Amino acid sequence: MKKYKELAYAMLAIVALMFLIGIAGRSDYYEYVSTHLPRKTYEEISRKIGSTNGDEVAKYYLDNYEKKNVR
C-alpha cells in the first residue's frame, strides 16, 4: 500500500510540474508576441481594449488579428 501511495505522490508531482511549465510557456509566448508587434498595431489594440498590459494585447492580437493576417 505504501508503494502505491508513493507512486501517487510522484505522479501528482509530475502533473503539477507540467502544469507550471505550461503556464510559464504561455506567458513567455504572450511576451514574445507583444514585443514583436509593430508599434502602431500595439497602440491600436491598447486603445481598443483599454489596457497596455502586454499579455492582454498579445491575447487580443492572437484572437482577432492573426486570423485575418493583419500585421
Domain count along the chain: 1
Which pLDDT value is given to residue 69? 56
Question: Does the pLDDT of residue 36 top 80, yes or no?
Answer: yes
Residue 68 has what pLDDT? 62
Taking residues 35-42, report their average pLDDT: 88
Average per-residue pLDDT for the chain? 83
Show the domain range for 37: 2-68
Extract long-range pairs of 38-41: CB within 8 Å, 24+ residues apart.
38/71, 41/65, 41/70, 41/71
Contact 31, 54 (CB under 8 A): yes
For 62, the grid coordinates are: 492572437
Tell me the pTM.
Answer: 0.56
